[in-house]
Structures are given as structure tokens and as C-alpha cells.
Amino acid sequence: MIVGVIVLCLGIFYVQTFHISKQYPDFKINAITGDNKVIDDIILNGEIHEDGYWYTVESFRLTNAGTSYMIDEPYFTRLNYVYPSYKIEKLQQDYRQFMRGKTEEPNLYYEDDKVLAYVNTTSKSTWDYYNKYFEIDIINKETRERNATVEVIPNRSGFDFLDIEAVRVIEDEVYIITKSHRYNEGDTETIISQYTFNLLDNKITDDKEIDKTVVPDGDYNSYLEIIPSASNLYEIVLSSFQIEYIPSTNDENDFREELTLQKLSYYDLKKQESKEITLPKQQGIPLALYENFFYFSETRGDGMTIYKFNMETIQIEDEVVIPIFKEYDDYITYGSISQLSEEGILYINPNYTGPSTPLYAVNLVTMEIAFEGEINFKNLTENENDMWINFTNVEIRQ
């Protein structure tokens, strides 16, 4: 009888969840121009919010094959609440033992043909929330040998908060890029630092400050962002900008973001050299670093313009205009999500969606629109006006 009751309850549970998911939208990517193969390897992750609130959220994943919802996944997968990143899923499948117990944040990992590396911050006591140590774990793919250690973070007491932004392995060195905050009397400092861990000596051999911004107290709209190169592991761009929230002309309760670039600098991890970049346009929004070019965008009356900026000649070499529908101008310019492939294809999609949501793929090498499409959905319920749909990130299956 007990077994029968358990089976019955589980059966009812899965039947109910199956019917619930059928009430959510069925998304579909429709091509307007370009080759559908360009979007074969992308994943659009998103969430559905009901009743105008952040809770009652359902996570979904959209690919060229269709829509899948978290509520239809196996029980233990659903415990994560949202879909894990494709990169993390693949690592867990290929390196199950290595991945056991590790934080599922893609920026904490580095992978190439030879090694898989993981670096996170930790404390040695469960009662100590002050992350004083680097947890470093590296596996050699050929020999399956692991190098796992815990190292004290140099000068950790000088920062209030410290987070890892990127991890790189170059020959026998592990480069750890961090973002730290120091709260002073009257201002806040945001510091980008580089820590070097030597695999032969098995210790941290160097730490240095790469960049820093200082903002007065009460300024919560200044940000320092790291843009890694998709073509060169050594290169990153550091971008600091300020966001101003401007009320919409149609609805005073709605605001759009206007970005003002404050500082832009290029940094080479291997050479440990940096140089400041001066863009010819002040309102440029940093997008990507690929080969010897930096790409940024700005809004014009005819849409969103992406510029190809040569960092050696300090000149704009090319540009491409994305003809965005008027109702999406603000969303795709100031609230868009993008991802750059190893081949130089930039995918752009607004994080908010409605009927005929645009999706673009831009070839940054040729500066041409490789794919233009729209995301439509059907199977909406009567409460569609209370449903808020937004995309959270784009992933590329590489």
C-alpha cells in the first residue's frame, strides 16, 4: 500500500507539472534574412514572471529546436531552480569527479586542450564568511593528474569584498583576475587585480593592481566591467562607465538606462602591460574585443550602430547598422544581452521580449549582419498581460 501511494503521488505530481508547462508560451525563432546555421549552436536562457512580481518564476531554455521548461526536467535538475549554464553541464558530464562540490559559475573555470582549471575564494571555517583564501584545482587532461591547493590571498585585509572575474592558464602560470571593493570614508574604490599562481612552485608569486575607479559615497550607478578577448587569451579590456536612469516618455514608472563611458583600457596578461583607449565617440557602449579590434555601439535614429575600432591606428575602420524596430530601441541598446563566438560572430538579443522580438548575429570580421530573425511565441493563456518574459543570457555551444 505504501509503495502504491508513493507511485500514485509521483504520478499525479508529474502529470500536473506536465500540464502546467503547456500553459506557458512556446517560443520559435523565425529567420528573416541570413543562414539558419548561424544560430544552430546558441542557447537563449530566460525566465517568466507572473502577476508582475519577481517571484512565481519559471525558467526556460530556447534553441533552434524549440522551447524547454525547467518544470519538465527531472526532479534533481529542478532543484537548481534555473537551468545551469551549458559550459557547466558539459564539464559535469566530462569531469564528474573533478566537478563534484564546485561552484557552478563559468567565470571560475578555464579550459583548453591540455588543462581544466578552477579557482574560487573560500574560508577555512564555516563560521567565517571572510574569504581569505584561493581554492585552486587544476587537472591535466592527458595524465589526469590534479594539482589542488589552498593559498592565502595576498593583502586580503585591504579589501572589503573580493570576487573572481576570470581565470587563465598560460604555460606554467595561472592568472586570477579579481574585482575588489574598498569602502573608505567619503568614497568607494573598485580595484581590478591580477594574481599569478606558479604551477611549478605551487604558490602565488605575484599580485598587482591593474585598474581602479573611485566614486563618492551614494554613487551606486558607476561600474567597472571586464571584457575578455574571444581570440586571444592574454587580452582583456577594462571598461568603467556610469548609468543614468531616465524616465520613459510613455510611462513615468518605466525607466531606461543611458550609459556614459568614463574610462577604457587594454591589458595584456602575459606582458603585464596596459594602455588607455580613447574612443572617438563619447557615448560608445563597449561590446567586444576580437583580434586587434575593439567593438562598441551607439544609438542613432536609424538603429544601433556597431563600430570596428583599430587599436593600433586609433581609427574606426568600419561600421554596421542594425535596423531595430522603434519599440525595441531602448531595450536592445541599453538592456541587450550579447555573446561572442570564437569565430567572431556577435549575437544580440534584448533581455525583454514581446511579439516579434528581434535577434541578430553580426559577423565582426566582415562587419555584416549574418542573421536577422525574430522570436515569436504562441500558446499564451488569458493572463498574458500579467506575464513578464525576459531573456537572461545567450550561450554558445562550442
Which of 180, 206, 221 is the endpoint of a domain? 221
Q: For residue 348, what are the contacts with CB-CB under 8 A and spacing of at least 6?
A: 304, 322, 332, 336, 337, 338, 359, 360, 361, 362
Flag whether 263 is in a domain: no
For residue 381, being part of any structural domain is answered with yes
Q: Are residues 217 and 342 in the same domain?
A: no
- Mean pLDDT, to the nearest integer, of 214-234? 79
> Between vectors from CA 311 to CA 306 and to CA 316, what angle results, nearest 5°?
40
Expressed as residue numbers, the domain containing 184 is: 84-221
Please give the pLDDT value at position 19.
Answer: 46
List the grid coordinates of 212. 581602479
- Indicate if 302 and 177 belong to the same structural domain: no
Residue at 370 is within a domain: yes
Residue 196: predicted pLDDT? 94
Picking from 179, 200, 221, the residue at the C-terminal end of a domain is 221
Q: Is residue 255 part of a domain?
A: no
- φ, ψ of residue 14 in degrees (nearest 5): -75, -30
pLDDT digits (tens, 9 = 90+) for 136-165: 999 999 999 999 999 999 988 888 888 999
Residues 23 and 139 in one domain: no
Q: What integer is the mean pLDDT of 326-346?
A: 69
pLDDT of the residue at 329: 47
Per the listing, cell 530601441 goes with: 329
Question: 10 Å Cβ neighbour count for 295?
Answer: 26
pLDDT at 343 over 50: yes
**What CA–CA distance (Å, rounded) separates 126 from 123?**
7
Whether residue 42 is found in the same domain as residue 64: yes
Structural domains counted in the chain: 2
Q: Does 264 map to a domain? A: no
pLDDT of residue 168: 93
Residue 353 pLDDT: 66
More confident residue, 375 or 127: 375
Question: Can you tell me the mean pLDDT for 246-257?
Answer: 61
Domain contains 237: no
Is residue 394 a part of any domain in this protein? yes
Same domain, 50 and 119: no
Both 94 and 182 in one domain: the answer is yes
**Alpha-carbon span 294 to 35, nearest angstrom:** 25
Residue 320's pLDDT is 92
What pLDDT score was predicted for residue 93?
92
- Based on the domain organization, do 347 and 321 belong to the same domain? yes
* Highest-confidence segment of 143-147, 228-232, 272-276: 143-147
Mean pLDDT value across residues 306-317:
90
Q: Which of 186, 221, 256 is the last residue of a domain?
A: 221
Where is pLDDT greater, at 331 or 172?
172
Q: How many residues does the chain have?
A: 398
Whether residue 101 sits in one domain with residue 63: no
Residue 259, pLDDT above cutoff 80: no
Q: In whole numbers, what is the pLDDT of the chain averaged over residues? A: 82
User: Which range among 30-34, 266-270, 365-369, 389-393 shows the weakest confidence by mean pLDDT?
Assistant: 389-393
Q: Are residues 68 and 90 in the same domain?
A: no
The answer to whether residues 214 and 126 belong to one domain is yes
Contact 323, 307 (CB under 8 A): no
Alpha-carbon gap, residue 295 to 338, rounded angstroms: 12
- Give domain status of residue 233, yes or no: no
Considering the domain architecture, whether residues 105 and 28 belong to the same structural domain is answered as no
- Same domain membership, residue 199 and residue 121: yes
